[in-house]
Amino acid sequence: MDNAAPILIIEDDHNIADLVRRYLERAGYETLVAHDGSEGLSIAKARSPRFVVLDVMLPGMDGWEVCKALRKISEVPILILTARAEEMDRVVGLSIGADDYVVKPFSPRELVERVKAILRRSGPTAVATTAVLQYGSLMLDPEKRRVSIDGELVALTPSEFTLLETLMGSPGRVYTRSDLLSRLYVGGESVVDRVVDVHIGKLRRKIEPDTSQPHFIETVHGIGYRFTDAEISQ
């Protein structure tokens, strides 16, 4: 991810877009603004932003459509802005590829902190944890932030990468949903446990040969998840 690349704000309410822009620029980020989904998608293709703040209720192409279109071409981190606080709406956004969500009305300072947290997850890993992790055909390189299966690169969102790195780092250890949420939301934001299940589901679809019988990430019913510590059959 290019740290000099701008943050793209896709929001049809000019006042909200300007508020988000001013707070992000005050935090040191360059920004771009689009006021509808089609324009935002065009800018994203042309400028390759480092982050996207995406409103749901957009004219023409709505935020859900934009999110799905972006995920076909990029793993850029996406934060959804939504006026709907229902849990299902949040889960839908995460299930189609968003990394986080903020419900309107929102604190612009909180939004900036969410952006910073996600960018930290998508940035280089600390030197102390740069050892390559490997289990069978699955390999994770924390320093290069690459995941591959049988040598083929697998594109993960920052949240998916963080979860896989956490689980692979301690095979056999059971992580509760709360444990994993604390890795994703280091600022202690209030987030429903189901968010973890959504991210794990997306991650499994990318790395598991058969999602109905997970080989790498095991469910510990009523508790959470663990990375297998079973022996690899020869």
**Cβ(56)–Cβ(83) under 8 Å?**
yes
The C-alpha atoms of residue 148 and residue 141 are separated, in whole angstroms, by 9
Q: What is residue 57's DSSP assignment?
A: S
How open is the CA angle 182-23-80, to the nearest 5 degrees?
50
Sheet containing 146-149: give its strands across: 133-135, 138-141, 146-149, 152-154
Q: How far apart are the first and last CA of the chain?
A: 37
**89 or 125: whose pLDDT is higher?**
89
Domain positions in the chain: 7-122, 127-227
> Residues near 150 by Cβ (< 8 Å), separated by ≥ 6?
137
pTM of the model as a whole: 0.64
Condensed to tens digits (0 to 9), the pLDDT of residues 47-72 reads: 999 999 999 999 989 999 999 999 88
Sheet containing 100-103: give its strands across: 31-34, 7-10, 51-55, 78-82, 100-103
**Cβ(54)–Cβ(63) under 8 Å?**
yes
pLDDT at 154 (0 to 100):
93
Q: The domain 7-122 is classified under which CATH number: 1.20.1260.10, 3.40.50.2300, 3.40.1260.10, 3.10.20.30? A: 3.40.50.2300
Condensed to tens digits (0 to 9), the pLDDT of residues 152-170 reads: 999 998 889 999 999 999 9
131: number of CA atoms within 13 Å, CB side? 8
Condensed to tens digits (0 to 9), the pLDDT of residues 122-141 reads: 765 443 456 899 999 999 99
pLDDT at 124 (0 to 100):
55
Q: Residue 85: pLDDT above 80?
A: no
Using a pLDDT cut of 90, give the percent of the chain over it. Answer: 56
Pairing of strands 78-82, 51-55: parallel
Architecture of domain 127-227: Orthogonal Bundle (1.10)
**Cβ(207)–Cβ(200) under 8 Å?**
no
